[in-house]
Structure 1
Amino acid sequence: MTTPAPAAVPDAVPATAPVAAPAAERSPGGLVRRHLSLVITAGLAAVAGLAFHRVFGWAAVVPVAAVAAVVPTVLAALLAGPRAGRPWPLWISLVLSVLAWAGAVSLTLFRAHLADGSLPRVIGIGLRDSWKGILTTLLPAPARPELLVLMHVLVWLAALAGAETALRTSLRVAPCLPALAAFGVALAMGVGGPGSNPPLVAAAAALIVALALVRSGAEGSAGGLPHRLTLGAAATAALGALVLFAGPYVPVSGDRYDPRDQVQAPPPQQRDSVSPLDRVGGWLLSPDEVLFTVRADRPQNWRLAVLDRFDGVTWTSDGRFAPTGSRVPPAGEDGERRDVGQRVTVMNLPGIWVPAADRPRSVEGLGVVVDPVNGTLAAARPLRSGQSYHVTSSVRQWSEKDFTGVVRQAGDAEARAALELPDGPGAQKAPPQIAEFRALAQRVARGADGPLQQAQWLEEWLGTYARYDVTVSPGHNYRQLDFFLGQSRRGTPEHFATAFAVLARTLGLPTRVVVGFRPGRTAGDGLREVRSGDVIVWPEVRFAGLGWVPFDPTPKRQGRSGADDDVAAGETLQKLEQAKRNAASRNRGGKATRPPEPPRAPAKAAEEASRPWWVYAAASPVVLVPSYLVAVLVIPVVRRRRRRRAATPALRIAGAWQQALEHLADVGLTTVRTLTAHEVARFGGRSVGDDARAHLGSLADLVDRARFAGEPSDQRSAEAAWLHSDEVGRLVTARAGRARRLRRRLHPRSLRRRVHAETRDSS
């Protein structure tokens, strides 16, 4: 039996030899597929980077996305070697990619820091804080390197991971996953930013389909690679078009997720050491200084600062300001609006508050922070003369239909905060002025039909109750407002606006104070000069569905005329005033209503003022004589009781001595400046008698001990002193007679308060 020869065994492959790709992958068709895969993964990474356009804007993201998507892809292709399928070890690719990223980001984003030696520190800070800086900035964010570095590293990692996956695996769509992750981060960070992403979503979907088609099957299947590329291009175009046109109409329920809700915004801070409200008085006293110039589409009142927090002493802003590239978020209230463009040039305006028409929509040419709630603009640094910027504002166009029907005060969190009336810094109890303000406001608004008419009546009442006077001292705390409303009745816009705000808050109307300027004086060629004398202050009340509505309680300034000098000089505010009046009349069934008249002197007093002077002269004795008799008879009794009930026994003893001296004055002993207590007792005994001398001597002993003894006097000594004093009074009455004592008491000198003088004289 013949044994068959054993089969030849191939030589074993050494374990350290690199594993070659399949023959299909090493073929020319396989090389084309791999290079097309790299092109597609780079395109996906670039699309993910372009999705940051809602964060930074197109101009900033296009160059960064191009560099961060192309460079790591080219590097991965070079490291794959001259023959596809034999790439270098992965760790070498990662190390070289990190070095390449550091060089690319240094030469592009951080080129300005190459020479100063701070490059590593700046890049580290950017990688650590860029995400929080973006999430706490109003979009679009400034295209600063320390913020763009986050986008750069995400796109770079997506391109690198996609390319390495395409080169080292045969999975069809796995190389697109890193780019999709970066795309998702871009979408989340761009929530609320300008622009939309459907075109980018369509491009990403088309590229994913193209990647799957390119990496599917072998070269000889389905008509070869050209046939699959033709089919893939058609399918990709169809899917991209479907996503682009159908995407916006896909119904999506629920609120969108915004990562900014999870990031703590910067706390409120006093952004200027001097409140603009505190500058109003000084500006009005020097009215001709040009603060800034404006070239605008139409004249408006220029808003400077919104002050919504009152601590009992001063008004400040409670806004949480956030940086912004240029955009200011909309107000959120319904109603017709009109865009107004302004070119502002700062001249002599101090502080950091940036004037603009309400409400700003975008600002360019000046680095600012924005309060997203009320749209107030503030510069990052104090303003300098010559700075210029452009603002586009969305100005509310008020009409009568806005106020028709039921108008209620708002009840949201912002409105509740605008109702606070604190006791004041360090106060232990509510100041009495708050209760007085509430009673006054209720009296003025009694009978008003709803909160809108309450505010209108307060506005009209203040405008007729007090006078405009720029010489009044500034200040708006409770005491100063009480003096303004109760006594002086003269003030600047600061006093009228803050008084309105406090009175309105006592009625439950959410109120804030706004500092701004009139449109200014025309300087030719559409330019307006806004001077210090154009400063105005007005209150605003928040109503449900309407938002903040301006009011004007300040009367026109005497001695000035012209449309530009009126607080409501702007066309918009003139329409607002007319709309409020018409709506109030319609809400009352067409019946005109007016607020109660300010407190004035009674009509009877006016009639009495016309009577001749001799009538009052003849009637005056009828009033003065009884008043004098009551005074001279009651005052000594009250004085004696106060002395007898003094706080300490020593004071009561001194009071008994003073009472005894007044008794001795009735017998002619009135000069005691150079006499001691015992000398007074001796001379008094000569005038009244020996019995009086004994009582006066004992009383003098008690007085000296109370003054000069080391031990304090006790209650028994005080009672004894008053017994001696009463006995002296009885003896003086017996000696001088009651008639003489009564005549002396009716003399005007009995009204004098001789407590301290007589004590010094007797010593």
Structure 2
Amino acid sequence: MSHPTSAPVPPPVRGSSRSASRGGPVVVVPQRRRGRGVLPPWWLTVIDAVLVVGLGVLCAWPLGQAWTGDRWLVAVVVGLVLGVVIAWTGARWRWGPWLTALAVAVAYLLVGSAVAVPNRTANGLVPTADSLHDLVIGLVQSWRESLTLPVPLTETGVVLIVPLVTGLVGGLTAGVLLWRSRWPGLAGVVLALVLVLSAAFGDVTAPAALTRGLVGAVIGLVWLRWRSLRHVRARWGRRVLATLVVVGVAGGAASGLGALADPQANRVVLRDHVDPPFDPHDYPSPLSKFRAYKKEPLRTETSLFSVNDLDSGTRVRLAVMDTYDGIVWNVSGGPESAHDSGTFRRLRNDPDAEAKATTRGSITVTGYTGVWVPSVGDTLSMTPVRDGRADDASAAELVINRETGTVAQIGGVTTGTTFEVEAVTPPPLVDEEIAVLAADPSVSLPAPRIVPEELADRVQRWQVDDKFAGGSGGELALFLRDAFREHGFYSDGIDDDVPAGHGASRLAELTKTATPVGDAEQYAAAMAVIGQQMGLPIRVVLGFKVPPGGDDVRGQDISAWTEVKLAGAGWVPFDPTPPEDHKLRKPNDDPDEEPQPQVLQPPRVPGEPKEASDNLQQGDGHRKELDVLAVLGTILGIALDVAKVALLLSPLWGVLLFKFLRRRRRRRADDPTRRLTGAWHELADRVRDLGVRPAPGSTRRESAYAVAERYDAVPVVTLAHTADRHVYGAGEPTPEEAHAYWADVDTALRRIRKATPWWRRLLARFSLASVPWRAGLERLRAGLGSRARRAGRWFAALGPVVRVRAGGRRLARGVAGILHRDR
């Protein structure tokens, strides 16, 4: 539409243009537009970039608790800088989404090799085929490995892709929102999402997390508020002070509510909800193998490991068990363990171990097999050595539970490996010192699920017989230790029929008589069970005692004891097992001088079946039966895999791509008239996909009335009139009018979508109603038919030539035959 030349020109205004029919003349401000936003001045761009990188690093700081070294920080910074640079370049040169995505992919492949997988590059910088392969595969695998591998994560593998991609995507998205959108304040939301993602992929420990969050919130709020109101004169000192007060009050309220919800301030991260590569519950209870060490060949014939620089009597620990399910004592630290039981993390050597260690020695594995690594005291550092050199592969597989001190190696220890150990061993305490110590109230172990009544009754009788006036802490631990040692008898079960095991039925059998008989397995288990019921922070330890005058440790040196956490002294060991020479003398040990005649015994009446716990394998808490749920889960998993493949290969993706390219072609048409009519066609196709089918050959207005019958709140009829006026009226529509018409169509489509159920909208995206597939098939068939007709005409034209050549060949053969006869 044209306007009178005499009309005064209004002052330049910012904002999107509208058609002349809706608002009069429009004057476009001569500024550099980037997408839907205006590129800010260079000084503001620099401030934005610096704050995005700085706040991005602050928000990504929780990742540092899950990685070793500083390469994770380099990856985050490089990712943020790359994202900001690509966002600014795209805004400066008006890149579209596809070109921006291509630039991100190229930058990721070129720079990511040196940052995330430097060990796969040439000279640590130049990308290779291996590094590019790791970068592509790592986009999927790195997120899983960063959660399943034990922390702290090393700088090898593809796990550094997580901080790199986090910074790259966060910096790019924040830059695009700042410089190419109408909502630059959403950049703060993006940085908050970076914080959430980093905390989710971090570790359960995060020092000063609340302080960093408050500082980031204050800086982000002040920055974004000043950015939006930088042209307004205001008292920014008052605004900053008010922001500090609001954030401080909110932070205090959040910390208070968090303390009320979780008094122990335990963080929850994603790795708490995935199965780690080392779960102690995947292995049998170490204590269940106690009796096997007492038998040959492990008893005396086989050397399990040899020790150097360790004094005689030193306790070499294999495993610490603090959970009892009525069947076995087991190592804690799995996905469902209590926080007081700790979790298994990658063993990181203390850099000050040389100054702190009170015990130094080496343990060489000879005949021992298993995942539990022999250790001493509170392990500060452990270095596996093979063939005189440090074994980095074995060191990467060492994990430790810092709460219990249990060390394990993923996949099991290797014969011939020497573990050089530096540890802290507390000095031994005498009984008088232990008796005055109280139990440590900071430890709260899970109570045993089953406590045999016979065990509780026997301990109560001992309290009466020994006149134990009652006590707690060290005094109660000493009473239990002495009671089992004085009232019990020792038997390793080799020369008699004393059964092994430490389930509830075995502990009941141990204490149902006044003369308990058993070995260290039963006595340590019984003391720990009754001790936990009486409120002691007590656990069971399986290990060996270094024999006097010898370096080789064998099965006969196996032992089990208990440890109680006492205030000011740590975990104090208690050995409740009677001496090995304190054995019960049975009445029939002496020969009977007057043997009685044998009497025929009545037939044995079948008794009740054994308890379910007797049929369970040691270390397993479930019956070995067909798991229907597991079978159903496997079938469901296969069905999901098939569904995934079918979804990836589905032609529906082609429908989405066709509709996307069609809309793009209509919106970017060179002719403003075609661009405007393309907007109407887009509206008509969308409502056709939603089920509105106008009569064939309907005009725009007739189609609009059909749409208005279903969506009466959408001005579709007005849009049809506007399109007819621009197409059939005098003059050509301007580009601004076409742009404004597209904006009106987009608004109408949003209202239509809001008035449509979600399932109908989903089906409409894949609907073929607006896809001219029938016309395409007709064109394809017509094209093939025309090609076939042209080929037929071509062969028909070649017919005379073929006949002439065939006749010439027959004439030549005839002449040759005549000449042959004449000869």
TM bucket (normalised to shorter chain) is 0.5 to 0.7
- Equivalent runs, 1:620-631 vs 2, <5 Å: none
Report what 1:166 is aligned to: 178
CA RMSD across the alignment: 6.3
Per the TM alignment, residue 452 of structure 1 is displaced from its structure 2 partner at its CA by 3.5
Pairwise CA distance, 1:193 = 1.7
Q: Secondary structure at the match of 2:519?
A: helix
State the SS of the aligned residue for 2:446.
helix
Give the SS at the match of 1:56: coil
Question: Helix, strand or coil: the match of 2:318?
Answer: strand
- Quote the residue 1:501 is aligned against: 525
Q: Is 1:415 the counterpart of 2:456 in the alignment?
A: no
- Output one character per residue of 1:21-49: Cα deviation in whole Å (capped at 9) or x when no partner: 74899999922221331232122223323
Q: Deviations over 1:724-756 (max 9, x none)?
A: xxxxxxxxxxxxxxxxxxxxxxxxxxxxxxxxx
Contact 1:55 1:190 in 2 (8 A): yes
- Alignment-mate amino acid for residue 301 of structure 1: R
Equivalent residue number for residue 370 of structure 2: 351
State the shift of 1:352 in Å.
1.6
Q: What secondary structure does 1:346 align onto?
A: strand
Q: 1:306 aligns with which of 320, 334, 346?
A: 320
Counterpart CA distance in 2 for 1:209 and 1:198 is: 16
Contact conserved, 1:130 with 1:149, CA < 8 A, in 2? no
Find the counterpart in structure 2 of residue 457 from structure 1: 482
Q: Out of 348, 359, 367, which is 2:397 matched to?
A: 367
3-state SS of paired residue (2:6): coil
Identify if the C-alpha distance between structure 1 residues 150 and 36 changes in structure 2 by more than 3 Å, giving closer, same or farther. same
Q: Is residue 72–residue 156 contact of structure 1 (8 Å, CA) maintained in 2?
A: yes
The aligned counterpart of 2:91 is: 80
Shift of the alpha carbon at 1:178?
1.4
Match of residue 81 from structure 2: 70
Indicate how the Cα distance of structure 1 residues 73 and 145 shifts in structure 2: closer, same or farther if over 3 A, else same. Answer: farther
Does the 8 Å CA contact 1:198/1:243 hold for their aligned counterparts? no
Equivalent residues of 1:37, 1:214 under 8 A apart: no
CA contact 1:170–1:215 (8 Å) conserved in 2: no
Query: Residue 52 of structure 1 is aligned with which of 63, 77, 89?
Result: 63
Pairing partner for 1:325 from 341, 346, 357:
346
CA–CA separation in structure 2 for the residues paired with 1:154 and 1:409 = 41
User: 1:144–1:340: structure 2 CA closer, same or farther, 3 Å change rule?
Assistant: farther
Give the equivalent residue in structure 2 for 1:648: none
- Name the CA shift for 1:347/1:141 in 2 (closer, same or farther; >3 Å): same
Q: 1:126 aligns with which of 138, 141, 147?
A: 141
Q: CA deviation at 1:164?
A: 1.4
Distance 1:238 1:293 in 2: 65
Check 1:390–1:550 CA distance in 2 against 1; reply closer, same or farther (3 A cut).
closer
Change (3 A) 1:448 1:14: closer
List aligned pairs for 1:583-622, cutoff 5 A. Answer: none
Q: 2:305–2:364: 8 Å Cα contact kept in structure 1?
A: yes
Q: In structure 2, do the counterparts of structure 1 residues 165 and 341 end up closer, same or farther at CA, with 3 Å as the change threshold?
A: farther
Consecutive unaligned residues of structure 2, counting only runs of 5 or more, are 20-25, 121-128, 336-342, 351-355, 384-394, 471-475, 604-823
AA of the residue aligned to 2:419: S
| Match of residue 680 from structure 2 | none
SS, match of residue 115 in structure 1 = helix
1:259 pairs with 241, 265, 268, which one? Answer: 268
**Distance of aligned partners of 1:248 and 1:642 in 2 relative to their CA distance in 1, 3 Å threshold:** closer
In the TM superposition, what is the alpha-carbon distance from 1:541 to its structure 2 partner? Answer: 6.5
| Deviations 1:579-611, CA, capped at 9 Å, x for gaps | xxxxxxxxxxxxxxxxxx998899xxxxxx9xx
1:293, 1:600 → 2: CA distance? 37
Q: Do the aligned partners of 1:296 and 1:340 also contact (CA within 8 Å) in 2?
A: no
* 3-state DSSP of counterpart to 2:485: helix
Contact 1:289–1:532, Cα closer than 8 Å, also in 2: yes
* Distance across 1 between alignment mates of 2:253 and 2:361: 39
Distance change >3 Å, CA 260–CA 116, structure 1 → 2: closer
SS at match of 1:93: helix
1:6 is matched by which residue type in structure 2?
S
Deviation at 1:304, TM superposition (A): 0.8
Given that 2:346 and 2:400 are in contact with CA atoms closer than 8 Å, whether structure 1 keeps it comes out as no
The answer to whether the 8 A contact 2:38-2:179 is kept is no
- Superposed CA offset, 1:276-304 (max 9, x none): 52453258743894714466899952211
Compare CA radii of gyration and give the structure with the larger one: 1
TM-score by length of 1: 0.52
SS for the counterpart of 1:259 is: coil
Of 14, 18, 41, the match for 2:52: 41
Say if 1:454 and 1:345 are closer, same or farther in 2 by CA, change over 3 A: closer
CA distance in 1, matches of 2:330, 2:404: 13
1:177 aligns with 2:205: no
Deviation string, structure 1 residues 329-365 (Cα, Å, up to 9, x no partner):
9xxxxxxxx9756564433243221122345577674
Per the alignment, do residues 31 and 263 of structure 1 end up closer, same or farther by CA in structure 2, a change over 3 Å counting?
same
Q: Is the 8 A contact 2:39 2:179 kept in 1?
A: no
Q: Give the corresponding residue for 1:551.
A: 574
Q: Which moved more, 1:474-483 or 1:533-542?
A: 474-483
- Cα deviation 1:615-666 (Å, max 9, x = unaligned): x9xxx9xxx7xx99xx7xxx9xx99x999xxxxxxxxxxxxxxxxxxxxxxx
CA contact (8 A) 2:523 2:577 kept: no
Distance change in 2, residues 1:133/1:347 (3 Å)? closer
TM-superposed CA distance for 1:168, in Å, is 1.7
Which amino acid in 1 is paired with 2:96?
A: P
| Corresponding position of 1:656 | none
How far 1:190 moved relative to its partner?
A: 4.0
Q: Identify the match of residue 290 of structure 2 among 277, 285, 296.
A: 277
1:6 aligns with 2:6: yes
Superposition deviation, residue 96 in structure 1: 2.5
Structure 1 residues 106-121: aligned runs within 5 Å: 106-110=113-117, 114-115=129-130, 119=134
8 Å CA contact retained: 2:379, 2:405: yes
- Provide the rounded CA distance (Å) in 2 between the counterparts of 1:93 and 1:361: 49
**CA deviation map 1:678-698 (0-9, x unaligned):** xxxxxxxxxxxxxxxxxxxxx
1:131 CA drift (Å): 6.5
- How far, CA to CA, are the matches of 1:198 and 1:178 in structure 2? 19
* Match for residue 291 of structure 1 among 267, 285, 305: 305
Amino acid at match of 1:115: D
Please name the residue that 1:736 is paired with: none
Which residue in the other structure is 2:419 paired with?
A: 388
| CA apart distance, 1:169 | 4.3
Maintained 8 Å contact 2:202/2:269 = no
Q: Contact between 1:500 and 1:553, CA under 8 Å: does it hold in 2?
A: yes
Q: Which moved more, 1:192-201 or 1:401-410?
A: 401-410
- AA aligned opposite 1:77: W
**CA positional deviation for 1:100:** 3.0
Q: TM-score, normalization: structure 2? A: 0.49
The code of the aligned residue for 2:189 comes to L
Q: Look up the equivalent residue of 2:208 and give its one-letter code.
A: S
Q: Is the Cα contact below 8 Å between 2:542 and 2:559 reproduced in 1?
A: yes
Point out where structure 1 has 5 or more consecutive residues left out of the alignment. Answer: 330-337, 422-433, 524-528, 559-596, 603-608, 610-615, 644-763
Shift of 1:159: 0.7
SS of residue matched to 1:45: helix
Q: 2: distance between equivalents of 1:6 and 1:65? A: 59
Give me the whole-angstrom Cα distance separating, in 2, the residues matched to 1:198 and 1:486: 55
DSSP-derived class of the 1:304 partner: strand
State whether residues 485 and 578 of structure 2, in contact with CA within 8 Å, keep that contact through their aligned partners in structure 1: no
> Where does residue 93 of structure 1 map in the other structure?
100
For residues 263 and 91 of structure 1, do their structure 2 counterparts lie closer, same or farther at Cα, with a shift above 3 Å needed?
same
Aligned residue runs from structure 1 range 23-34, under 5 A: 30-34=41-45
User: What's 2:732 paired with?
Assistant: none
The alpha carbon displacement at 1:182 in A equals 0.7
Distance 2:138 2:516 in 1: 60
Q: Answer whether contact 2:60 2:198 (CA < 8 A) is retained.
A: yes
